[in-house]
Structure 1
Amino acid sequence: MTSPDPISPIRSFRLDVPESELEHLRDRLRRTRWPEPETTTGKDIWDQGPPLETVRELVEYWATGYDWRRLESELNSHGQAMTEIDGLDIHLLHVRSPRPDARPLVITHGWPSSVVEPLEIIDALVDPADPDAPAFHVVAPSLPGFGFGARPSGTGWTVERTADAWVELMRRLGYDRFLAAGGDWGGRVTARLAHAHPDHVIGMHTFTPYVSEPAGGPGPLTELESQWVADTRWFHTYGGGYSLQQSTRPQTLAYALVDSPLALLTWILDKFHLWTDRRSPVSRDRILDTVMLYWLSGTGGSAVRFYWENFPPRGNDERVGVPASVTVFPADIEKFPRFWVEQRFRDLRSFSVAERGGHFPMLEVPAGYAGALRRSLGSMT
C-alpha cells in the first residue's frame, strides 16, 4: 500500500439536502397525474408494468412516511468523498478497516443501482464480527454520471475509461494493489479492471460473468445450466426493451427521469420487481433510497446514458488471467454455465450457486453476498 497522493486530493463530501427540496418533492408526489389502471389482473397483473394500486401505495409512503435523513446520515457516516479524475468529479464511499490485516477492495455497482447497494454490506466487510474472517478497506465509487458526482458533458465515459479511472482512484487513496468486485455494469468494470490492469488487481469476484457462448457450441451442460441458458435467452428476447431504449435514445428518457419523480420511481421499481428473488425482496425503504439518490442528484438521464456509451456491450471475450471467483444467484436475469465462464476467466478459483437472491444481492441477501466475498477474495494473493 502506498501513501495517498496529496497533489490529487480526495475531498470530503457531506450531504445536507435543504428541507425545502424535500418538501418540493412531496408536493410533486401529492399532485401526481395518475394514468388509468392496467388491464391485466391476477398473477399477470405486472405484465404491463408496475400496477397502479401498488404504485399509489408506494407513492403515499414516499410522500408521508419515508425518511431521507436516515439515508443521508448513513451516507455521511461512511466516508463520502469526491475527487476529479480525467475532468469529471467522481463520488465515492471509502471506509478503512481497523484491522491491520485488511486489504483494499473496490466494489462497483450497476444500473439501476447506486452506492446504496455496497452501503448495505460495508460494515460487515470492514469489521466482521468473526475476528478470523477476512476484513477489507472498502471503496465504493459511483459510476460516472451516477450519484452526486458530476454528469459527463461529453461522450467517452465507457467501461474501459471507467476501469482506468478506478485504478487512478485507488492510487490516490493509497492502494496500488487491490481486490475488485461488482455486478451488472459493475461486473463489466470489474472484469475490465482485471483484464487491463493485472498488475494492480490481486483478484476479483463477480455475480455477472458476462461471457459469449463458445464457438464450438454450448458444450457439456447440466440440467440446471441448460435452464440457465434458456432463461438468459428468454431475457435477451423479451426482457431487454429498457436496455435498447437506454442504449439508443437516452436523452428521450432523460426528460421523464429527471423531471418526474413518478416516472423515475416506476422505471426503477419495474426492475426491482422483475429481477429479484421473491423469497428475499428488497425493502421499500431501500428501493426509495435508490430512487432518491437519482432524484436528488438529477442523474436519472446521465445514468441511463452509460448504456449509450457502451452499446453494444463489449468485452465478453477479453481473457482475465488474475484469480477470479463467480457466485450465481438463482433469480438473476442472466446466468452462464461454468464451462463458458472458464473460457474467459482462466484462473477461476471458485464457481458457486447461492441458495437465494437475484440481480441485487447486496440488498436482497447482504449477509450471503458479504460471505461470498469473504470466502472468494479472502485467500487471493
Structure 2
Amino acid sequence: MNFSKPVVLIDSFKLEGHHEGYLEYYYNQLSRLGLEIKILVADSKDADRIARRIMSIDDKSIKYFKSHFAISFLTKLNAWIRLQSIESLIFWLRLNLSLRQFKINKPYIPFILWFPLKYANNTQLSHWAIPQDIVILDGLSINPTLVENMGFDVNFTVNNSLYRSSSIKSILLLNEEACRYYQSIGITNCYWLPEAILLKKNELQHSWLINEIKELPLARNVVLYVGGLSQRKKEILGFCRLASKYSEDSVSFLAVGSLYRDHFTDEEFNQYLELKNTISNLFIIEKRACDEELYDLLELSNTVFLVYPNHPYSSSFMTMAISAGRSVIVKGDSLMARRAGKYGIGITYEELMSNPDILLMDRVEEDKIELFRHDHSDEVIQNTLTRAFGLRT
C-alpha cells in the first residue's frame, strides 16, 4: 500500500454492547492494510479495557476524551439554553482537544465510529473546529422518521449537513438503502460497509449461563431472543405471544438478556410477568450474555428472533445469526426483512402470527448462507475500506 497518513480510530461512546468488539475489529482490518493506528475512546476505563484487549498496540497510542474549562463552561451554559448548535460545538472542540494528545506532526485521518447524527447538523458555530479528512462510520444513517422525531427538517438535514462539507473524506454506511439515497442526491463519497461477522467460538473455560441453559428441558426446535428484555428497541412481549402458539414438545422459546423495567409501562410489565409465568415452553433468563457466550447460544438454537419495531436499521446479531447458519424472524417491511429476503433466509413475524406452522417447515440452504458470508467477509470489508480511505495498491 502507498499510504503514509496515520489513522485515529475514534469511539466517543462507552465501550458497551458490541462497541468494544467493533473497535478491535476495525483496528485489525486497518492494521492489515498497513496503516498506523491510534485509538481515542470515551474515558480512562475504556482506554484501559481496549489496551488489555488489543495487545499489539502501544499504550501511548491509546488516549481518551479530555475536557477543558472553556468546554465545561459551554456545557453548563447549554444545560440552561439547550441549543443543538452549541452541543455540536462542544463535541468538535472536545474532539480537537483530545486529538492533540497524540502530537501527530503530519496530516492524519480521524475515523469516527458510530458518528452521532445530531452533530452532522447545526454546524454554523462549529465549522471552524471540525478537523479535515474525516472518515465517518454512520451506523444509523439518516432515516426520515428518526430525523423528524429529533426535531430536524429532513431536507435541511440532508442538503446542508456536515456530509456535504469539504471536511469529510468519506462516509461509510451500514445501511445500503441509505447509501443509495445519499448517492442519488449527489453525496458521492459514501460507501456501503457490510456489517462485520464478530462471532467467535467460545473460549471460556466455564460459563454458568450456558450450563444453566443446557439443564433446561428444551425441545428440538429452539427460537432464541438475545439482548435487553424490553419494549423499546426490541419486542419481548411479541416473543412471548409467539411462544404461546406452539406446544412445549414442538418448539421452545429461549430469551437471554438484562431486564429493563423502565422500558415497560406498568400494564406491559404485568403482561410480561403473566406470560413469563404461564407459558410452559417459554424460558427467560434475566442475565446478560457476554460476547463470548453468543456462539454457544446460537449453537443451541435453530432460529433467532429479531423483531425490532422501533429500530428501523440493521442488527449486528442478525449478521452473526445468519453467518452461523441460523434462520431469523424479522419485522415485515423493514431493512432487516429486505436484507434477509435478498438471501432467501428467514420469516416475518407477521407471517408467523397468521400461520405458525411455517416455522416448523423453515429451512436454511447452505449455498445462501455461503453467499451471505462472502458478502460480509473480511475481504469485502477491506476492499471497501481501501476505497473509502483512498488507498493505492
- Shorter-chain TM range is 0.3 to 0.5
TM-score (norm 2): 0.33
Greater C-alpha radius of gyration: 2
TM-score (norm 1): 0.34
